Amino acid sequence: MTSTDQPVDELVAEAVARVAGAPAGGLEYVVDGAASALAASTERWPAVSRALLGVAERSVARCWAAGWQPADLVRVARRELGPVQVALAADLIAAEGRRHPAAALDRRWREQLRELDAHPWWPSDEAYLPEFAARHRLDRFALATAALELLRAWALLPPVQPVGPAPGRAAAPRSGAPRADEPRMLGRIRALLAKAESTGFPEEAEALTAKAQELMARHSIDEALLAAGGGRSADDPAAVRIGVDNPYEGPKTMLLDAVAAANRCRVVWAKEFGFCTVIGFDADLDAVELLYTSLLVQATAAMHRAGSRKHKDGAARTKAFRQSFLVAYAARIRERLAEATERATEQATEEVAAGRTNGAGPDGAPLPAVPAGGLLPVLAARAEAVDDAVREMFPTLVSQRVRVSDGEGWAEGRAAADRASLHRGSGRIER
């Protein structure tokens, strides 16, 4: 039977399976042959489009069952392939998402889909490949090749530790009702950090970010009191993944770890996949994501400004300089954040002891009575719960060291961190 006689659904499934199972040696020839079969007929191209979306939906669903999330699959396309596959990845995720009502998805899952702009924009499944090819100026063979390469990359992904419920799967039971949407407090924090990143005045940036940090600390402590007093907050640790890519993935992970530790979270680095898993309580995880993103923007800008100059001996600054710069930046941020966390905790402890916290909590919710023993035992219990969750999720961890080989880069990185806008932690990078 020739490819023109073979049913299209069977042809597409066979081509995808052949590419997914091909050894690395000689892969190019297998992909070329499979792509040629899919792209051979103009008349059958719409049917190939429909069948390919069907295969892709099943492939994406298998990834969800193996613990992967939308941002992860797009990150795989970006790291291993190219911009065409990145665009395809978002579309194929959107195609699979048609099976799940938005209201049934976890809040962070919906946020990922929104950030990826993953939505079905094509008029019909038969029109998808023709419309995509027109948008990206691709011929049928090039598009079939890109799709097969992407599906192979996803097919080779191993299972990973899940972080949050996948579509169609119930969330783990929690004692409090989880929020459906982002807390209003995070909107205020996000606005402050956006202003801090955009202003050209370092003093204003520092003041804005310090204010954001104060809101984060208060939000976290209020959530802890709500959970301890039997309020509406869920009282089990959760986890999120944050992408950390080259270049300088080690120092970037150190910066993330500094922010996470300051927010009473733990970080586990999966270097081979380009992400870190951050484990903590929901309010703290939100703070980590916002704060790390803002600090990384500031650190990158400061590194480029410093790297545009020459060394003292007149030589051009190197990768070693930039690596050392970011390591020093992360180390100094860790110190600053640890100091800020200590101050915020001391202030909250004094308020608890004086009985001044039984007012409004996060988003105006009333706070329950302060538990016997005060705030510190509440925070200690939450830290222990996070440690227990890490041990359960990742029973085997090793520490990762990051080398510093440029003293001038180290000095300038610490100086830039002193100028950065923030406060809060301590801990170690784990893998």
Q: Per residue in 330-376, pLDDT tens?
A: 888 888 777 777 877 778 777 766 665 544 454 555 555 555 567 77
Query: How would you label 159-187 residue by residue, b for 16+ Cβ within 10 Å and e otherwise?
Result: ebebbbbbbeeeeeeeeeeeeeeebebbe
Rounded Cα–Cα distance for residues 353 and 375 (Å): 8
**How much is the pTM?**
0.80
pLDDT above 70 covers a percentage of the chain that reads: 75
Q: In the predicted model, what is the mean pLDDT of residues 60-66?
A: 95
In this structure, what token pair is assigned to residue 127?
Answer: 């029109």
| Three-class SS state of 399 | strand
pLDDT for res 431 = 47
Longest dimension (CA), the chain: 84
pLDDT for res 347 = 80
Question: Quick check: bond before 247 cis, omega within 30?
Answer: yes
Rounded Cα–Cα distance for residues 191 and 206 (Å): 14
Residue linked to tokens 């002193």: 418
Lowest mean pLDDT among 94-103, 123-132, 229-238: 229-238
pLDDT for res 223 = 80
Q: In the predicted model, what is the mean pLDDT of residues 304-319?
A: 59
Per-chain mean pLDDT for the chain: 81
Distance of CA 380 to the CA centre of its chain: 27
Is residue 422 scored above 90 in pLDDT? no
pLDDT for res 64 = 96
In this structure, what token pair is assigned to residue 294?
Answer: 């803002």
Q: Per residue in 64-90, pLDDT tens?
A: 999 999 999 999 999 999 999 999 999
Banded model confidence at residue 10, pLDDT cuts 50, 70, 90: very high
Rounded Cα–Cα distance for residues 192 and 197 (Å): 9
Lowest mean pLDDT among 211-220, 311-320, 372-381: 311-320
pLDDT for res 174 = 46
Lowest mean pLDDT among 13-27, 88-102, 263-277, 393-407: 393-407
The amino acid that residue 279 corresponds to is I
Lowest mean pLDDT among 15-24, 160-169, 383-392: 160-169
